[in-house]
Amino acid sequence: MSSSRSSSSNRLLLVALLSCAVGCAGPGPGVAPKTLAWRQANLVVLPLENLSGESAPLGELRALLERRLRSLGFPVRDDASIDGFLQVHRVRFTGGIDEETATAFRQELQTAAVLITTVELAKPSSPPRVALVSRLVSTGADPSILWMETVGLAGDDHPGLLGLGLVKDPATLWSRAVDGLMASLSEHLTGDGAAVGAAAEGGRRLRPRLAFRSPGLSTERAHRVVVLPFFNRSLRRNAGEIVGLHFVDQLRRRNVTVIEPGVVRQRLLRFRFVMTEGIGASDIDLIANSIGADLIVTGTVREYEDYEGPWGQPKVDFSAQVIDAATKRVVWSSKSYGQGRDGVVLWNWGTWGTAGALAGGMVGAISDRLAGEEQARSESPSRDSVR
C-alpha cells in the first residue's frame, strides 16, 4: 500500500472523470492529454466553510481561489450560477457534498468537480495566523475525493535576521495560503506533486504517546473508511470536525479510500444519528451498511489550542479509535499529545506555528502505522508505549 500508487490512482480517476466531462476531443500539438482534459473541465468553487470560530474574509478568499484557478488554466463557473444552483437546491452546508447534490452539479452545470475549502484558523492579531483545508471532489452519483491539502501559516514562522521575515498583514498570509493550496493542486493534476505533503512530516516527535494496533488490521487490502466528527471536549469550537478533516486528509494520502465527509454527514442526518459519548454495535451496522465502509474512525479531542501574541505554542491532545465494522472490534486505539516546540533544540527550527500544522503531523504519524508504512512492533518504546 504505497502512497505513490494512491496518488497515481487518484490522478487517473480525475483524468477519467474530466475526460468524460469534456468529450473526446484530441489534444493539440505538444499538449499532454490529461493536462488538456482538466484544463477544459468546468470546476466549481463552493462558498467557504468557517470552522475558525472567528471572523474570516470568506468572500475575498473565494474570489482569490477562483482567480488562482483561472490563472492555472481552470475554467471556473461564475458565482452567480453557483449561488443560484445552491438556492434552488436549498444547499446551506458547503463544507462537503452529498450524492444528490453532486449528481445535480454534474447534470445541470456540467461540472466535473467542486472545490470545498474550510477556514480552520483566522487570527488577525500580531503575528497573524491562518489555516485552510481544501479538497477537490468529483461530481456524479459517487462523489470521491480526488485531491486534498492543508496549509497552516503563522506570521512568525520564519522571522529571520532581526525579524525581517515577520509577516504582520493577515492578507499576505491568506494569499500565501491560497498559493500553497493551488501549487499543490497543480502539481497533483500534472503528476509532479509528492504523495505525502508537509503536513505529514514530524517523525518520532509526533508519534502517539500510547498506541495499540490489532494484528487483525490488514494492510494487504484496500479499505473503505468513514471518518466521523470527533467528540469535542476542548475549549476550541469545532475542534472535533477539524481533527476529523485531518484524518480524512492524511488517510487518503496512504492508499486508503476515505468516504467524502459530505456523504457521511448526509447519512447521519437521514438516520437522525446523534453522537453522545460513543457508538454501539447497531450504530456501527447502520453507518457501515448505508455507506459501504469496513472501517470507522472516531475519537475525542481534549485540547486544541492556538495562542495569541508573540509568545506561546500550540497544543493538541486527542485520542483515536478505529473500529472494524464486520467484527465490531477496536483494531486501533491511540492517545496523542503534542506542543509546537516538542523536540526543538536550536533556534526554534522545526516549530509548529499553528495547532492545525501540529495536528496534521500527529495524525500523519498515526496514519503511517494504520497503513503499515511504519512497523510499530519493531520500534523502541522509549517515548511511545506500544502494546
DSSP 313-376: --EEEEEEEEEETTTTEEEEEEEEEEETTTT--STTTT---SHHHHHHHHHHHHHHHHTTSS-G
Q: pTM score > 0.85 for this model? A: no
186-211: buried (b, 16+ CB within 10 Å) or exposed (e) per residue?
bebbeeebebbbbbbbbeebbbbeeb
- Provide the β-strand partners of residue 315: 305, 339
pLDDT value of residue 23: 41
- CATH assignment of the domain containing 145: 3.40.50.10610
If one counts the domains in the chain, the total is 2
Are 15 and 156 part of one and the same domain? yes
Based on the fold, state whether residues 102 and 232 are members of the same structural domain. no
323 and 355 belong to one structural domain = yes
Domain assignment present for 353: yes
Question: How far apart are alpha carbons 239 and 304 in whole angstroms?
Answer: 6
Q: Are residues 151 and 10 in the same domain?
A: yes
Closest CA to 144 of 317, 276, 13: 13
Same domain as 233, residue 176: no
Residues 214 and 360 in one domain: yes
Beta strands, E only, 3-125:
42-45, 49-50, 111-123
Residue 309 domain-assigned?
A: yes
Give the whole-angstrom CA distance, residue 226 versus residue 219. Answer: 17
Per-residue pLDDT of 52-104, as tens digits, reads 999 999 999 999 999 999 998 888 998 889 999 999 999 999 999 999 999 99
Question: Which residues constitute the domain of residue 169?
Answer: 3-190
Of 223, 212, 188, 178, give the one whose Cα is nearest residue 69.
178
| Domain-embedded: residue 36 | yes
* 3-class SS letters over 160-220: CHHHCCCCCCHHHHHHHHHHHHHHHHHHHHHCCCCCCCHHHCCHHHHCCCEEEECCCCCCC
The answer to whether residues 217 and 168 belong to one domain is no
Q: What is the DSSP string of 33-66?
A: HHHHHHHHSEEEEPPPEE-SSS---HHHHHHHHH
Q: Are 206 and 364 in contact (CB under 8 A)?
A: yes
pLDDT the model gives residue 203? 57
Q: Of 131, 160, 190, which residue is a domain's last? A: 190
Last residue of a domain, one of 158, 190, 222: 190
The tens place of each residue's pLDDT in the chain, 387 residues long, gives 444 444 444 554 454 444 444 443 333 333 344 555 666 678 999 999 999 999 999 999 999 999 999 998 888 998 889 999 999 999 999 999 999 999 999 999 999 999 999 999 998 887 888 999 999 999 999 999 999 999 988 877 666 555 556 778 889 999 999 999 999 998 887 765 444 444 445 556 788 999 999 987 877 677 899 999 899 999 999 999 999 999 999 999 887 899 999 999 998 888 877 766 667 777 788 888 888 888 999 999 999 998 776 677 899 999 999 999 988 899 999 999 988 766 665 555 557 778 998 999 999 999 988 877 654 334 433 333 333
Position 366 in a domain: yes
178 and 258 together in one domain = no
| 93 within domain boundaries | yes
In a domain, 31, yes or no: yes
Residue 82 C-alpha cell reads as: 453557483
Asked whether residue 195 is assigned to any structural domain, the reply reads no
Query: Do both 177 and 284 map to the same domain?
Result: no
CA distance 104 to 115: 15
Task: Please check whether residues 296 and 366 belong to one and the same domain.
Answer: yes
Decide which of 140, 172, 190 is a domain's last residue: 190
Q: Are residues 332 and 213 in the same domain?
A: yes
Tell me if 126 is assigned to some domain. Answer: yes
CA distance 318 to 336: 5
**Distance, CA of 202 to CA of 357 (rounded, Å):** 10
Sign for the pseudo-dihedral over CA of 159, 162, 168, 169: negative
Judge whether 387 and 187 are in contact, CB under 8 Å. no
Residues 116 and 65 in one domain: yes
